[in-house]
Amino acid sequence: MAELLKRDSKLKPNFDVTITSHRLWRQLRFKWIRPDEVVYFLARKHPILLWQALTGPGLALLSSTVMFVWGIITGAHFAVWIGLAAMLAASLWVIWQIIDWSNDYYIVTNQRVVWIEKIVGIYDSRQEAPLTTILSVGVETDPVGRILDFGNVVVRTFVGRIDFSHVSHPYHASHMIEEHWNRTKAATSGEEKEALKTAIRQKLGLTVQASAQKEKPKQADKSALPKPYRPTIFNVLTSNILKLRIEDVGTITYRKHGFVLFRQIWQPSCFLLAIFALWVNRFVTLASDPATGVINHGPNGWSLDTILLALPLIALPFLGWLTYQYVDWANDIFQVTHDQIVDLDRTPFGRVERRAAPLDNILSTEYQRLGLLGYLFNYGTVYITVGGSKLEFQDVYDPAAVQQDIDARRAARVAGKRAAEKNAERDRMAEWLATYHNNADEFTRQQGAARENPE
């Protein structure tokens, strides 16, 4: 290997890209990568971006350290404490920048291109597109990038572009992406040819080769079937209690996150709790006072305290408000079936709006978790690009898992449809070729007779 690199030094960046990808993949092992996927390329941003991001916190850490040391030398306790606090804050800033840099990934598999971008506590997004939607792969660099060998790899798809920003060895990375993209297309073409040969042999009644028979179940196993959902204990406690994800007879139904429900019902809930507290306080006060009672006997007979009767009546409008908000939350559902996605928006006693799109029309998917609350409570919005429009699964629990469900169903749908089309086309071609082969002698005789007797 060393001798090969000495003879052709241009190969070194290719090996660097490959080795870095394999090392990162062994460390990370993303759970959303399907078993039938092969990771070809995996990279972070160039380290120069990390050093640029560490300039500010590094200067802050240095200045706070100087203040801390100066305070110790001079005996200025105030400077010591200020310097210590600033050192702690600057250290946390440094750690945050390192984690933020390490959380962005660019991935190319044998099925899709993926861009993962995370800002700790604020933002979480995964954008992806199938390899079949790629139109071109290009590179953009600046003078500094050309000197340090980093730049942007631009993957253009039917729905826009996915930028692999500031990656090392950008030209070699782009060539590698193109190579595996073309290799995937060539492999698919080779499998189709072999399947066509097998179909022709079957139509002609010939013995089918054992290798061809063995390949067929393997290809069927590689179909992108949706993964079974296996909730963890945390998912059960936080998701299934509120029924945020329901899977029934192949249809997955999602509701908005429980935090969204809390935002809708906290006001009526506070009023109801206040009224209930007043009712309990009134009941305890009357029950503990010997001069009064909860139920009194007077000239007009037995009577219940007026306030105890009035408070439940006052609570009824707030109870209705709470019920309305809950029904409104429960009626906003998103569904993924075997053949389509559905966004159903219903208001109690009001309008019903239903948007649906076939799974095989989906061009790309993306999810985002915005803000600290979205990160802490793990909810966000999944964007599904269909043609020239977008469907949004808003405020769903665990948007990454929702995106994975959609992508798995879409892949299964597209794979099944393509397999059916290819099988039909293969059988039709095989039938034509077999018919020609069986009648070739007759066609030859007729052609010879036509030559002998041109008139």
pLDDT for residue 60 is more than 60: yes
Whole-model pTM over 0.95: no
CA 168 – CA 249 distance, rounded (Å): 47
Kindly state the average pLDDT of the residues 98-126. 80
pLDDT for residue 320 is more than 90: yes
Q: Between 299 and 216, where is the model more confident?
A: 299
Alpha helices in 332-398 (DSSP H): 371-376
Which stretch of 56-60, 134-138, 239-243 has the lowest confidence by average pLDDT? 239-243
Which stretch of 6-15, 44-53, 431-440 has the lowest confidence by average pLDDT? 6-15
Name the pLDDT band for 240 (thresholds 50, 70, 90).
very low
* pLDDT above 90 as % of the chain: 13
Highest mean pLDDT among 87-101, 232-246, 395-409: 87-101
- For 372-387, how does the pLDDT look when each residue is reduced to its tens digit (9 = 90+)? 888 888 888 999 888 7
- For 80-93, how does the pLDDT look when each residue is reduced to its tens digit (9 = 90+)? 899 999 999 999 99
Which residue type is seen at 201?
A: R
134-140 β-sheet, strand order: 134-140, 150-157, 160-168
| Domains of the chain: residue spans and CATH | 11-182 (no CATH), 233-410 (2.30.29.30)
Kindly state the average pLDDT of the residues 174-198. 74
What pLDDT sits at residue 214? 42
Which stretch of 121-135, 322-336, 349-363 has the lowest confidence by average pLDDT? 121-135
CA dihedral 386, 391, 396, 402 (to 10 degrees): -10
Which stretch of 105-119, 158-172, 288-302, 343-357 has the lowest confidence by average pLDDT? 288-302
Highest mean pLDDT among 54-63, 100-109, 395-404: 54-63
Pull the structure tokens for residue 55.
């300039």
- At residue 85's C-alpha, the angle toward residues 79 and 91, to 5°, is 130
DSSP state at residue 305: -
Burial 387-399 (b: 16+ CB within 10 A, else e): eeeebebbbbbbb
Say whether 257 sits in a helix, a strand or coil. Answer: coil
Query: Which residues make Cβ contacts (< 8 Å) with residue 154, sequence separation at least 6?
Result: 137, 138, 139, 140, 161, 162, 163, 164
CA 47 – CA 49 distance, rounded (Å): 5
pLDDT for residue 252 is more than 80: yes
Q: Of 338, 342, 368, whose CA–CA distance to 354 is shortest?
A: 342
CA 365 – CA 159 distance, rounded (Å): 10
Name the pLDDT band for 14 (thresholds 50, 70, 90).
low
